[in-house]
Structure 1
Amino acid sequence: MGPSGAVRSVRARYLVYFQYLGTGFNGVAAVRGSQRAIGVQNYLEEAAERLNSVEPVRFTISSRTDAGVHALSNTAHLDVQRRPGQPPFSPEVVAQALNTHLRHPAIRVLQVFRVPSDFHARHAATSRTYLYRLATGCPGPDQLPVFERNLCWALRTDCLDVPAMQEAAQHLLGTHDFSAFQSAGSPAASPVRTLRRASVSPGPTSPFVLPQENRKLHFWTLEFESQSFLYRQVRRMTAVLVAVGLGVLTPTQVRVILESQDPLGKYQAHPAPAHGLFLKSVLYGGLRDLDPASC
């Protein structure tokens, strides 16, 4: 209480975990001043207006995703300043309010945490994991079950050389200049990143595949973990690993592409489609992280 006896309002910062189906969005970031394009953030901030914060609520997104890319769990921080004399909302109230007032069915708030006022959702992240889904044994995207469309990349092949892809992925591990896998328009000051994990494995069987299709239609999962990624790095790495799986490239050629630092090369210049990519998790040291699979 100040000299005048007035009660000051308190600004509370929250970390929000949320998920979305990226189809139909212009990416996660808010689109300002456009009536045709809209981002996930637009809907989140619209819902946050119902919290009646003294200052407008703005979401600071931890991990930007492109149009068509999905998130099992993305994060953002936001500040809510209530009127003088009103205590901060509990995290549970913030989560319930956001979900209640979200006007798009493809977005869902998973959980909310109260965090220190200097916490930053993007800078504080210690790990990000992306997964990419592939489908083989399908003549084309129009032959996929309708429930799987826009959720995987349907390759026009019956098989992939998965051991070769796994071998190629090992060449990407570690700290490197990933310029060859960076698309133009990246805001990153440095192209050096440390890839901690890169895996290629059979994906779970889709419950939407009919028995008569089950014999030939198979799903595969690629996972990549790093503290941060360059713009479209995961989709470019996926495209190159798929080229290895199709026998177009050898595993050792992936290392040559990496060392070339050439973003305009034939195989890395064409990223894998956005609709097969999912942001799986964003982790923070010292905070209890949410497992999306538990919700």
Structure 2
Amino acid sequence: MGSGPVAGSVRARYLVFFQYVGTDFNGSAAVRGAQRAVGVQNYLEEAAEKLKSVVPVKFIISSRTDAGVHALSNAAHLDVQRRAGQPPFTPEVLTEALNTHLRHPAIRVLQAFRVPTDFHARHAATSRTYLYRLVTGCARYDQLSVFERNRCWALRAE
């Protein structure tokens, strides 16, 4: 793997798969600035800060979701550059470390893989699948099962 801006340090690129219940988020992309809204990426990058990479870790997400949308599995790539003499994280250690440091219980890293340094999660994606769940015939929102609230769209009975 190639050397980065710090002499002797090695950059490793990883593909990570993660999931989230999007109710509390303003989508998957990071929200920058003084806004109160937050994206899933904000939490992922905050957890990655604990990896003590020589350069800040940025998640490049393969696809974006809107506010309130959930993901069973989304993908992103990230680069971690450790200090000289420290080997790259194994994918298993990276997965465990990110999950340990994630501060939101609605996000989980499922799996990580080492990939070539020219891999790009968005450009390498070969497909995207979206699932839309609708409940019909529900007269009022409070009649919806508690297990379905915020996880499907209820269409009112007319």
TM tier relative to shorter chain = over 0.9
TM-score (norm 2): 0.92
What secondary structure sits across from 1:78 in the alignment?
Answer: strand
Q: What is the CA–CA distance in structure 1 between the aligned matches of 2:141 and 2:131, rounded to whole Å?
A: 19
Q: Deviations over 1:235-275 (max 9, x none)?
A: xxxxxxxxxxxxxxxxxxxxxxxxxxxxxxxxxxxxxxxxx
Match of 1:73 in 2: 73
Match of 1:95 in 2: 95
Paired letter, 2:65: T
What secondary structure sits across from 1:155 in the alignment?
Answer: strand
Q: What is the CA–CA distance in structure 1 between the aligned matches of 2:153 and 2:104, rounded to whole Å?
A: 25
Pairing of 1:13-32 with structure 2 (within 5 A): 13-32=13-32
How far 1:34 sits from its partner (Å)?
Answer: 2.4
How far 1:136 sits from its partner (Å)?
Answer: 1.9
Structure 1 portions without partners, runs of 5+ = 1-6, 159-295
Match of 1:52 in 2: 52
How far 1:157 sits from its partner (Å)?
Answer: 3.4
Q: Is the 8 A contact 1:14 1:91 kept in 2?
A: yes
How far 1:146 sits from its partner (Å)?
Answer: 2.0
How far 1:154 sits from its partner (Å)?
Answer: 1.2
Match of 1:250 in 2: none
1:155 is the counterpart of 2:146:
no
The more displaced of 115-124 and 31-40 is 31-40
Pairing of 1:87-236 with structure 2 (within 5 A): 87-157=87-157
How far 1:78 sits from its partner (Å)?
Answer: 0.1
Q: Is the 8 A contact 1:20 1:71 kept in 2?
A: yes
Paired letter, 1:25: F
Q: What is the CA–CA distance in structure 2 between the aligned matches of 1:47 and 1:127, rounded to whole Å?
A: 28
Q: What is the CA–CA distance in structure 2 between the aligned matches of 1:141 and 1:120, rounded to whole Å?
A: 41
Q: Deviations over 1:193-245 (max 9, x none)?
A: xxxxxxxxxxxxxxxxxxxxxxxxxxxxxxxxxxxxxxxxxxxxxxxxxxxxx
Q: Deviations over 1:24-51 (max 9, x none)?
A: 2111100111241110000000000111
How far 1:19 sits from its partner (Å)?
Answer: 0.3
Q: What is the CA–CA distance in structure 2 between the aligned matches of 1:156 and 1:32, rounded to whole Å?
A: 36
Asked which structure has the greater RCO (Cα within 8 Å, sep 6+), the reply is 2
RMSD between superposed Cα atoms in Å: 1.3
Q: Is the 8 A contact 1:31 1:38 kept in 2?
A: yes
Q: What is the CA–CA distance in structure 2 between the aligned matches of 1:13 and 1:28, rounded to whole Å?
A: 20
What secondary structure sits across from 1:126 in the alignment?
Answer: coil
Q: Is the 8 A contact 1:47 1:103 kept in 2?
A: yes
| Stretches (4+) displaced over 4 A | none
Match of 2:3 in 1: none
Q: Is the 8 A contact 1:140 1:155 kept in 2?
A: no
Q: Is the 8 A contact 1:22 1:70 kept in 2?
A: yes
Based on CA coordinates, which of the two structures has the bigger radius of gyration? 1
Structure 2 portions without partners, runs of 5+ = 1-6
